[in-house]
C-alpha cells in the first residue's frame, strides 16, 4: 500500500492495522487472517455508515425506521444460545414425542438470553 491508500476513507489507518496485528499474534489461524477479517468488518461498517449518512442527507430516509432497519438488516445480531436451541429443537421435532419437545420448549423459553 502506498501512503495515498491510507488516506482513503474506507482504508483503516495504519495505527489501527498495527493494533489489530498486535492483538492477533495469538490467533491459531495467524495474524494475517485475523487482521483481514477485522479490516473487512471495519470497511463494511464504514460503508454502511456512509450509505446511512447519504440517505439521511439526500432526504431519502423519509420513514423514521428506514436507517435503523437498514443497520439491523445489514448487521443482524448473532442468535443467542437459547434461540439456536429452540431452532434446533424445531428442526428435529418428532410428532411421536411431542410431550418431551413441549417440555424442552417451555424450559428453553424460561431461560434468559
28-39 tens-digit pLDDT: 777 788 888 888
pLDDT value of position 4: 52
Q: Are 24 and 34 in contact (CB under 8 A)?
A: yes
**Share above pLDDT 70 across residues of the chain, in percent, rounded to a whole number:** 92
Separation CA 20–CA 69 (nearest Å): 30
Condensed to tens digits (0 to 9), the pLDDT of residues 52-91 reads 999 888 888 778 888 999 999 999 888 888 888 888 888 8
* DSSP state, residue 93: -
This prediction has a pTM of: 0.58
Half-sphere exposure of 21 (CA within 13 A, CB side): 8
Amino acid at each position: 500500500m502506498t501512503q495515498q491508500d491510507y488516506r482513503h476513507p474506507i482504508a483503516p489507518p495504519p495505527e489501527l492495522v498495527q493494533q489489530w496485528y498486535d492483538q492477533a499474534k495469538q490467533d491459531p489461524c495467524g495474524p494475517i487472517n485475523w487482521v483481514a477479517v477485522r479490516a473487512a468488518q471495519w470497511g463494511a461498517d464504514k460503508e454502511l455508515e456512509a450509505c446511512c449518512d447519504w440517505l439521511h442527507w439526500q432526504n431519502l430516509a423519509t420513514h423514521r425506521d428506514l436507517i435503523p432497519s437498514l443497520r439491523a438488516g445489514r448487521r443482524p445480531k448473532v442468535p443467542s444460545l437459547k434461540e439456536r436451541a429452540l431452532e434446533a429443537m424445531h428442526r428435529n421435532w418428532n410428532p411421536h414425542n411431542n410431550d418431551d419437545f413441549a417440555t424442552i420448549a417451555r424450559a428453553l423459553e424460561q431461560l434468559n438470553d
